[in-house]
Amino acid sequence: MAWSRPEVRMSRPRSRGLLAPLVLGAVLLVAWQLTVSFSGLPGFVLPGPGEVLARLAGMLSGSTVWPYVGLTLAEAVGGCALGAAVALPLAVLVHRSSWANAAITPFLGATQAIPAIALAPLLVLWVGYGFTAIVTLCSLMVFFPILISSVVGLVHVPQEVVDAARIDGAGGWDLLRHVEAPLALPNVLAGIRNGFTLSITGAVVGEMVMGGQGLGTLLTLQRDAVDTAGMFAVIGMLCAIAATAYVLLQVVERRSTIVADVRDTPRG
């Protein structure tokens, strides 16, 4: 009995975290259906949620759509991995070197004024159409969020923890591996989590602009066929993929935060 009260308190945020999106989703579906019912718009302009869900179920039950899903996921994962592979070492360099920080930061700010999609024609000229160009576009979209989050995580590692590690003889690679990287990991994962959703966007837009065989291509085909219900179904798939990846990475991020807190807790 003594433990029942804390358990209830701990379960409330979890149940609220599961219930809130479901309630919001139900409200949006009802609003969508009411809009369809009272607007008088034809089905090829705005299909109802029932029609879209039926179309989505039919697509998922078949085998045609899965190669499209797999290729878009491969492009998004590949782009996110490539962007992280470049951003993470650069974040360490910016954090460790004041010269690199002063030299690189203005250029990073300037690149944010250039929409990544505007680089698509150049990428076609440089690497051609298809998978490689799309992965490159995705990596450009995720690079900046991962870099900024990683630098913020490294900057906010408690200085007293770093000083204590240096007193114990840690420095250079050992300091980064055993102290700074674990404590900055929640921020790094937050950057990857946000970056991956952008990578999915980059993959879809890249397929629509630079060719490919993923969900962006399927959207283009459905648009040309005025298949609005099919377009909504594919958009629903993309939302589900992004939401699933976001939640999974958020779970990993929370667990890494617990580990970082344990490492950061002073021992008497």
12 within some domain? no
| pLDDT of res. 19 | 81
For the segment 47-68, the average pLDDT, to the nearest whole number, is: 90
For CA atoms 108, 110, 115, 120, the dihedral sign is negative
Residue range 192-237, pLDDT digits in tens: 999 999 999 999 999 988 877 899 999 999 999 989 999 999 999 9
Query: Would you state the torsion angle of the CA atoms of residues 221, 227, 230, 232, taken in this order, to the nearest 10 degrees?
Result: 110
Residues recorded for the chain: 268
The pLDDT-based confidence of 3 (bands split at 50, 70, 90) is: very low
| pLDDT of res. 230 | 92
Using alpha carbons, list the distances in angstroms from residue 27 to 30, 71, 204, 265.
5, 32, 27, 43
- The reply to whether the predicted model has a pTM over 0.75 is yes
The CA-based angle 198-204-205, given to 5 degrees, is 85
Cβ atoms of 249 and 76 within 8 Å: the answer is no
Residue range 139-195, pLDDT digits in tens: 999 999 899 999 999 989 888 888 787 877 777 777 888 888 888 898 999 999 999
CATH number of the structural domain spanning residue 225: 1.10.3720.10
**What residues have CB less than 8 Å from 171, skipping those under 6 apart?**
none
64 within some domain? yes
40 within some domain? no
Number of domains in the chain: 1
Secondary structure class of 116 (helix, strand, coil): helix
Cα atoms found within 13 Å of the Cα of residue 161, Cβ hemisphere only = 22
